[in-house]
Chain A
Amino acid sequence: MRLKGFIHIKGVFGLVFGLLFLFHSPTFAQTDTASATADTEQVATTDSSAVDSATATEASSDNATAEVSATSAPESANATAVAAEEDPGIPAQVYVNFFYYVLLFVLVCFIVTILGQVLSVYELTQGLKRRQAANNWHSHQAWFFLVGLIVFLYGVYWSYANHGAQSFREAATEHGAKIDTMFIITTIITTIVLILTHIALFGFAFKYRGSDKRKAYYYPHNNALEKIWTITPAVVLTILVLFGFFTWRGITNIPEEQQKEALQIEITAEQFAWNIRYGGRDNTVGKRNFKLTTPVNGLGIDFTDKSALDDIRAGDIVLPVGKPVHFTIHSKDVLHSFYIPEFRVQINAVPGMPTFFYIVPKYTTEEMREKVNDPDYNFILLCAKICGSGHYNMQKKVIVVTDAEYKEWLSQQTYYFDDTMQKEFKEQSQSKQANLVIDGNKMVSNN
């Protein structure tokens, strides 16, 4: 059995050398033509040393197969070269580099195989019987799990301290603070569970590693224990659920009066941009109908609705600090998601169905910059729902300012109902009247 295995290893050797020659030859052919980048050189050097070591190994093992495959190598090498020439777009060096990587991997596999053989030989020379050898391997695994436990615990600490510190920022809205509290409570509970269960899992794996001298403890069930660990998570979860439920209702279930009093801003998503419309003097965004959309009236605003006339077009989302804001979210084409991480705001933009989010910003951009100690820091609106090729770059700046700054900014913005829009609106209403007449005639003739 063992001998058979060894012969097979020879076959692998042969294959490896065959491949080595196969991929090595074209490099000589192309060193003068191909543009050798720094990258390539690096690979080449690594690999030539690899080839050397492999050749050395070959010398020690007399191998007929290797020579056989080596003779056939030049032909195949030519074939590769021809294939490369047929496609002028990709330089041949690319193939060579790729094959070097493949080769590197084959070499790694090769080393693993050798190590495996060395271990087998070691086990044989130690006079271990198969069963003993297997037991050895089993106890190694138990030790690995113990080491794994230590690494795991340290890894948890390291992740929290490093990645955790750079990812968690205080929420910049009032409801966001409630979400943060929930988040922190949940993090504490789950971290405790994570650590305790892993200590148990890896610890038991180590402590109760198998031995021929011992028999496991026959312990099929214990109803009391099972009740405890059904009820404990149930109680903890009930607390989390209730807390979460009321937080969620507090965020989403805003009384209508309160919603109406808030600053009205309409956001319309499209591939791959955000359109912003403020309610204007009357704090009401005008009605719209997607059928009215034209290149000029991109949002399909219905200007027969008086409240649409003073709607304001804005380049960025600018919000006064401490004032409630009511966002109405639309989409013109596919699903998008209105997501401002620091605000703890996310709601999908759904074509044909407006969605809402009510927030009260807590900090101005300036204050937040001081908090995170970064003078260039900005709140940012992202798209969080896959929406097409530009999904990864669908952004809008969100700026929170004091009330006075906000008023000043607002006074500089333009209306949606500007000159071009007015002109188009007039033309449309004229043609509509004409259409109505035609329609009326049709009705008559149909009757």
Chain B
Amino acid sequence: MATTTTLPAADYNHNDHHDHGHKETFITKYVFTQDHKMIAKQFLITGIIMAFIALFLSILFRLQLAWPEKDFPILEVFLGKWAEGGRIKPEFFLALVTIHGTIMVFFVLTAGLSGTFSNLLIPLQLGARDMAAPFMNMLSYWFFFVACVIMLASFFVESGPASAGWTIYPPLSALPTAISGSGTGMTLWLISIAIFIASQVMGGINYISTILNMRAKGMSLWRMPLTIWSLLFTAILGLLSFPVLVSAVVLLFFDRSMGTSFYLSDIIVQGQILAHEGGSPILFEHLFWFLGHPEVYIVILPSFGIVSEVISINSRKPIFGYHAMVYSLLGISVLSFLVWGHHMFVTGMSPFLGGVFMITTLIIAVPSAVKVFNYLATIWRGNIRFTPAMVFAIGMVSFFISGGITGLFVGNAAIDIQVHDTYFIVAHFHLVMGSAAIFGMLAGVYHWYPKMFGRMMDNRLGYLHFWITFIGAYFVFIPMHFMGIDGVPRRYYAFTSFEFMEKWLSVNVFITWSAIIAGLAQVAFAWNFFHSMKHGKLATQNPWGANTLEWTTPIEHIHGNWPGELPTVHRWPYDYSKPGHSEDFIPQTVPYSETMSSNLPHDFEGNPEAERIQREWEAQQLVVDEEGK
């Protein structure tokens, strides 16, 4: 950059298209809003509500697993015929598991996480007035909302919600005679997901085009915060993989409603010979996991980005190995398209193919390991401030390690024979993409809450929330590994039919209590979140001492983000505790000419003119120093 050592160019005129005269009504401000900050809040609050619903569902099926022989009459009050006499029915148990998984993966960790932070951070951290296509952005949210409503509506149909597992493998999901949830409930599931994908695609196109086209002056790609890099890769993954799920869903719809045989063949159900011939459920599995695997990275990448940012800010240190972090994100993103077969080692897919997928799968552990080591190097010799966001970020790294290393078991085709579809896999993914991603999301919420609502959340409730949730999650998922090694399959309604599972009954009670307590701890979060909107301490403009651009906007939200012209970026976002500078952070908007005492040779990226100015200044300083002596 030729201008790095000069004063910011003042003649950068942004084409300000906002009409300051028009009046905002309640509808245009809060409902059909096109402002990215409000849409981010909409995504977040919808995501939180959906998360609470899914959490509640999980508590319901945990009750059944812990006390399979006990009645809970209160359940009949709000579940009606699905829990006659206070005991959840096997089919409804499967429905609970299915909808819990679907809501958590798609509605909370995909839309709730990347929807919120893409919308909030992309324009704010890049220095843009809004998204590239605000109207489409609005549609993206409302499609998502409709998808949520349809998914929840399936609880109110006669035959019950979809209950073939969140992976909806046919033929189970295609045959209402095989399980009642595959009737209307599954139709609603398919419609909901189709709408959801439309929402994701609209959002994704928007995020990518905003990141690539609407960066502020001086914001080169290599000066973007890691949050933006991760959101960029997330959007690309989503855009490339979600349409494949549409094809899977549409073909399943044809099989269900129009008598085609894409996935069905040789089926006799309840003594009835079906006419389907020549299809293969394996085809569905391939299509599903071609989305499904990138999907787990869609879930975890935004958390990576958020945690990188939060750890760096609160350690008061630059993120270690910024370039390595970006390349590992890139590596993970590319590899994530080549590993879907590891979900299918024992499905009857060609064993040779299984071997190939195993190789690509274990390779993906390398960039993941690099990320973990870089986090550790970032907090090493830091000056750590344990804000609630920071403790959640540390928790996320811990979950990612504990859940990630078990990936070496399930990614290895030979060992996967033993633990496939058991509680081991349940424990693995709940830690590595469930708990880790949700902790990344919570870190983000605690960190950017002042930006979203102009007020601070209560720290102490945040700590309470963190410790109970952190310990609770470990208590819930660590024992599950051992159940899986013992050979307890997942999605079992009760452990009472097999003698060897009886030793796990008491463990199940322990897990359920942990889950209930951790679940109740979320009330502390909900209270903190909603109460602080009105009653929290007023936030300052840059409460965390962060470098990125969003903290240069006024606390009061305005449409267009910055009053006057857009900021100019002069440096990378991680100049924390730079030696020679009086403060421990230097915002991205500060030019090098104002920080002569802390500039380093590599700051100038080989610009000879800037280096010359710096050398002259240093020589002059030397003279001044000597004269001083």
Interface residues of chain A, those whose CB is within 8 Å of chain B, are: 1, 4-5, 8, 87, 89-91, 94-95, 97-98, 105, 108-109, 112, 116, 119, 134, 137-138, 140-142, 144-145, 155, 159, 163-164, 166-169, 178-179, 182-183, 186, 189-190, 193-194, 197-198, 200-202, 204-205, 208-211, 214-222, 225-226, 229-230, 233-234, 237, 240-241, 244-245, 247-249, 251-253, 270-271, 290-291, 293, 295, 300, 332-335, 337, 339, 341-342, 344-348, 350-353, 355, 376, 378, 380, 382-393, 395
Contact = CB atoms under 8 A, between A and B. Distances in A.
Closest 6 CB pairs of A and B: A341-B487, A352-B265, A252-B351, A141-B386, A163-B482, A167-B486
A222 B317 CA distance: 14
A116 B320 CA distance: 37
Contacts of B318: 218-220
B90 A392 contact: yes
Interface of B: 73-74, 76-77, 89-91, 94, 164-165, 169, 171-172, 175, 178-179, 264-269, 271, 273, 277-282, 315-324, 346-348, 351-352, 354-355, 358-359, 362-363, 365-366, 369-370, 372-377, 379-387, 391, 394, 397-398, 401-402, 405-406, 408-409, 412-415, 417-418, 420-422, 459-461, 463-464, 467, 474, 478-479, 481-483, 485-487, 489-495, 497-500, 503, 507, 520, 523-524, 527, 535, 537, 574, 576-579, 584
Contacts of B366: 230, 233-234, 237
A293 B73 contact: no
Given A244-B358, A386-B491, A105 B352 contact: no
A244 B357 CA distance: 12
A166 B579 contact: no
Nearest to A393: B497
A195 to B, nearest CB: 10
A339 B178 contact: no
B74 A95 contact: yes
A229 B370 contact: yes
A369 to B, nearest CB: 13
A333 B172 CA distance: 8
A98 B75 CA distance: 10
B409 to A, nearest CB: 6
A90 B365 contact: no
Contact of B171 (A183, A345, A351): A351
A350 B94 CA distance: 20
28 contacts: A94-B77, A137-B386, A155-B474, A164-B485, A168-B485, A179-B417, A194-B405, A197-B401, A198-B398, A201-B376, A204-B379, A215-B383, A219-B380, A220-B318, A220-B319, A229-B370, A241-B358, A241-B363, A244-B412, A251-B417, A337-B420, A346-B417, A350-B280, A350-B281, A351-B281, A353-B265, A380-B500, A393-B497
Nearest to B167: A386
A166 B408 contact: no
A250 B321 CA distance: 41
Contacts of B320: 219-222
Contact of A186 (B348, B352, B358, B409): B409
Contacts of A337: 346, 420-421, 489
A347 B346 CA distance: 5
A201 B478 contact: no
A420 B347 CA distance: 36
Given A94-B73, A183-B409, A295-B271, A159 B464 contact: no
Contacts of B359: 241, 245
A159 B510 CA distance: 14
Q: Which of B398, B499, B500 has the most CB of A within 10 A?
A: B500
Contacts of B379: 201, 204-205, 208
B412 to A, nearest CB: 4
A270 B266 CA distance: 12
Contacts of B268: 270, 290, 293, 300, 332-333
A391 B267 contact: no
Contacts of B461: 116
B260 to A, nearest CB: 14
A204 B397 CA distance: 13
B493 A392 contact: yes
Contacts of A240: 362, 408, 412
B37 to A, nearest CB: 26
A137 B460 CA distance: 8
B273 A386 contact: no
A218 B600 CA distance: 11
Contact of B355 (A214, A249, A290, A376): A249
B418 A346 contact: yes
Contact of B386 (A95, A197, A210, A233): A210
Contact of A221 (B321, B483, B487): B321
Contacts of A142: 384, 386
Contacts of A339: 421, 487, 489
Contacts of B269: 271, 332-334
Contacts of A119: 460
Nearest to B474: A155
B579 A218 contact: yes
A386 B172 contact: yes
Given A5-B535, A334-B172, A392-B497, A178 B414 contact: yes
B459 A345 contact: no
A216 B77 contact: no
Given A220-B318, A332-B269, A388-B178, 13 more contacts: A98-B74, A194-B401, A201-B375, A205-B379, A215-B579, A230-B369, A233-B366, A240-B362, A244-B415, A300-B268, A335-B172, A348-B346, A353-B282
